[in-house]
Amino acid sequence: MRSTIRVELPAGLRLLAGLGREVRVAVEGAVTLRTILDALEAAHPTLQGTIRDRNTHRRRPFIRFFACQQDLSHAAPDDPVPAAVAQGLESLLIVGAIAGG
């Protein structure tokens, strides 16, 4: 099954990839953080390494994932995301932590 997922990017990554606030990516099969990020990076290779490590796929420390008023930052990458995200009703929010100067 193919799902169209809505993803919101932080300003720095929109600038880097030349994208708007919301991006739509197509995910085949199970909709998880891993499959969403795989699809996002495949569609926009410039984002590789900016959200998660290129090789370990570990989330970068100052990046957080939110959706449906839940903090998904510590969710397992292969867990299903909330149904509303999988159905394209809500966005997965990729957020840069409030830090730095």
For the bound state, the minimum distance from the C-beta of residue 72 to other proteins, rounded and expressed in Å, comes to 17
For the bound state, the minimum distance from the C-beta of residue 41 to other proteins, rounded and expressed in Å, comes to 12
- The edge-to-edge listing of strands for the beta sheet with 22-28 is 22-28, 2-8, 91-96, 63-67, 70-71
85 binds other proteins (CB under 8 A): no
For the bound state, the minimum distance from the C-beta of residue 9 to other proteins, rounded and expressed in Å, comes to 10
Distances (CA, A) of 60 to 10, 12, 54, 94: 14, 14, 10, 11
The residues of the shown chain that bind other proteins, judged by CB under 8 A, are: 10-13, 15-16, 46, 48-51, 54-55, 60, 62-63, 96-97, 99-100
